[in-house]
Amino acid sequence: MSMGDKVTNIWKRASDEGENREEIPWHLKYGGRTLGTFAGIVNIFTGIWNAVAILFLNTDCVFGGAIQLLVGFLLIALEAPFLCVFIDYMQQVSDIAESKPYWTRAVFYIIVSIIPLILCFGPSTLIASALVFCTGLLYGLMSVGKKGSREDMGAIASPVDNVSQPMGGHHTTFMDDPDVWRPT
């Protein structure tokens, strides 16, 4: 595969051909990608920071830092595969992930964000994991989909005309009773 074909395949995403993926608002779609890419970069840096802590004889967060490095690389590989052009099969991995429904990615990101917090709780781990968690929440919102049209929402909110309504009710009783409004 030539370099030109690789660049062309980078810009062609598997999600561009999905049925209901066109209904997703653009700000959620690109916001999820941007936040995921940023979260991956932050996870790589905080993972290096936690792994380098072994030089200061702090062995508590070495494994958590290694997990953060892995999570950061996965986030960048799935959200921005053009940053991993040097790996030949990365576009295929990203295309497979794009063909899955959004809820699988949301669940994956939420679970993966909790693991480093369990292994090494600290401010850098908390910030990096919170970014991954927020990315999972955005993908969860995308899996819910777009809300209904204005006409659909109006039809749901309007009362049905053929159902008999009671003549009174709590609202009528409170408004018509003068003793309720009189100070005692």
- Domains of the chain, by residue range, sit at 24-147
Q: According to the model, what pLDDT value does residue 2 have?
A: 66
Task: Inform me whether the pLDDT recorded for 66 exceeds 70.
Answer: yes
Of the candidates 21, 29, 46, which has an alpha carbon nearest to the alpha carbon of residue 113? 46
pLDDT at 8 over 60: no
| Residues 6 or more apart whose Cβ sits within 8 Å of residue 173 | none
pLDDT digits (tens, 9 = 90+) for 94-111: 888 888 888 999 999 999
